[in-house]
Amino acid sequence: MMKNVVEVRDLVVVRGGREVLPGISLDVAPGVTGLLGPSGCGKTTLLRCLVGAQRVRSGEVRVLGEPAGSASLRTRVGYVTQAASVYDDLTVAENLAFFARVLGVGRAAVDEAVDAVALGDHRDQVVGRLSGGQRSRAGLAVALLGRPDLLVLDEPTVGLDPVLRRDLWALFHRIAEEGAAVLVSSHVMDEAERCHRLLLMREGRVIADGTPDEVRARTGAADVEGAFLRLVDDAGAPA
Ligand SMILES: Nc1ncnc2c1ncn2[C@@H]1O[C@H](COP(=O)(O)OP(=O)(O)OP(=O)(O)O)[C@@H](O)[C@H]1O
């Protein structure tokens, strides 16, 4: 199995005249990786770099061995932004058929994606009339169309109730079990426990990297939120 799906080295990104990522390095391996950190720490900016949608000042971003944004990665990387990119006036099936044409994948991929997100009963329903959770799953289905090896999800569970959040995390694990690397950003620390591996971010840097157990053990904290707070306090303490 390939070791790293994503390799980021010394990445510098400037947005609004400020170094939002001041030289971040990290790897993402197969499995479910949580990218956790407070609002504004640079999670979305980093994810945009992975999918080739962000202008970078310097550094290297490689995805599946290719430079991020390469044409060869178009179907190999799925990206779900915070605003679900599905058309409200089309049905689930119509949305998927449209994006399947854009990606150049066959109709079979549409059925597979609908099944993967368990929207079979709603495939002929207009997306604008779906619940929030169903709509999120429709957006996820679009990202699954190319059978991506890397699935990048930007805060996919924001605003969803606990049952839907649990169901979505179960789905992320199923996708990972089928071989894709799943990178999920969140600012909700309790989602950390659901990940195989964590990258804790603060102010454009990775401050911890490991399994939830490793991150807790390293800090002696009872949970990942406590670990994060200890790491922040330690970073701020005088040398
Ligand atoms: N279009 C932009 N122009 C200038 N600065 C931006 C732009 N978008 C984001 N920023 C800044 O970049 C920094 C990182 O933002 P980013 O969206 O990557 O953070 P985040 O961790 O994803 O936050 P959230 O959890 O709130 O989505 C913030 O300080 C933000 O103000």
Question: What's the gap in Å between 40 CA and the centre of ligand 1?
Answer: 5
Q: At what angle do helices 92-103 and 107-116 cross, to 10 degrees?
A: 130
Q: Where are the alpha helices (DSSP H) in 41-91?
A: 43-50
Question: What's the gap in Å between 95 CA and the centre of ligand 1?
Answer: 29
Residue 9 token pair: 């080295």
Q: Is 100 helix (H, G, I), strand (E, B) or coil?
A: helix
Domain positions in the chain are 1-76+154-239, 86-147
Pocket of ligand 1 from Cβ distances under 6 Å: 15-16, 20, 37, 39-45, 187
What pTM does this model have? 0.91
Q: Is 51 helix (H, G, I), strand (E, B) or coil?
A: coil
Integer distance in angstroms from the first to the last C-alpha of the chain?
A: 41
φ, ψ of residue 136 to 5 degrees: the values are: -60, -40
Would you say the ipTM is above 0.85?
A: yes
Pocket residue to mutate for ligand 1, from 13, 19, 20, 184, most atoms within 8 A of Cβ: 20
Reference 180, options 91, 40, 63, 88; nearest CA is 63
pLDDT in tens, the chain (239 residues): 457 999 999 999 999 999 999 999 999 999 999 999 988 999 999 999 999 999 999 999 999 999 999 999 988 999 999 887 899 999 999 999 999 998 889 889 999 999 888 899 999 999 999 988 888 889 999 999 988 999 999 998 887 788 888 888 998 999 999 889 999 999 888 888 899 999 999 999 999 999 999 999 999 999 888 988 888 888 765 54
φ, ψ of residue 197 to 5 degrees: the values are: -145, 150
- CATH level 2 (architecture), domain 1-76+154-239: 3-Layer(aba) Sandwich (3.40)
Whether 69 contacts 202, CB under 8 Å = no
Pocket residue to mutate for ligand 1, from 11, 45, 55, 81, most atoms within 8 A of Cβ: 45
Q: Which residues pair with 33 in a beta bridge?
A: 183, 197
Pocket residue to mutate for ligand 1, from 24, 44, 154, 206, most atoms within 8 A of Cβ: 44
Reference 192, options 20, 2, 35; nearest CA is 35
